[in-house]
Amino acid sequence: MALIGSTIKPFTAQAYKEGKFVEVTDADVKGKWAVFFFYPADFTFVCPTELEDLADIYPTLQGMGVEVYSVSTDTHFSHKAWHDTSPAIGKINYYMLGDQNHTISNNFDVLRAGQGLADRGTFVVDPDGVIQIMEVTSEGVGRNATELLRKIKAAQYIAAHPGEVCPAKWEEGAETLAPSLDLVGKI
């Protein structure tokens, strides 16, 4: 599962977004920052809490030039039904990709063997289609959109400032590090 630094693989999927069914491909992702947010299934328990949390920061992400693609192995029809019946999911304005053929889940190596469900995986992809951040958690561990936002800000910062790195707990505006021989053993 060494996907950091690799380029996303080709895919085509149907998605539900803002009352419409739309086609999304890997070509649509290139040229902007993107988050692929995999979850096991619609109409479940932890998933709506995560997706609602992500919906709450979606306007901020859009302002940073980041698009969000939630992905499960359900169909786009199921996504619409869930969106129409759940107050939490009804808040979502980002793409909800159906991956019933498992192409995207296999491409990101999060498909559970023999189950047909995706693990909880988060991938941040840069404008060149290269995976910069990945996180996979177990079934019962929900993710935190605020922490994801912090990581995206750090990834965008280091992309714009070659030669600098963001230390642990880095927040926007805080000091960064410039790795050098002089710093070895002093931090």
Q: Which amino acid is at 132?
A: Q
Query: Rounded CA gap, 182 and 169, in Å?
Result: 22
Report how far residue 183's alpha carbon sits from residue 177's, in angstroms, rounded to the nearest whole number: 9
- CA dist., res. 163 & res. 124, Å (int): 20
Choice among 47, 97, 104, 110 that is catalytic: 47
DSSP strand pairing (33-38 vs 120-125): antiparallel
Q: Catalytic annotation on 47?
A: yes
| Token reading at 154 | 């750090």
Check: CB of residue 100 under 8 Å from CB of residue 106: no
Q: Where does residue 101 fall: left (phi above 0), alpha (psi -120 to 50 degrees), or beta otherwise?
A: alpha
* DSSP-assigned beta bridge partners for residue 72: 98
CA end-to-end span of the chain, whole Å? 30
Q: Hey, which residues are catalytic here?
A: 47
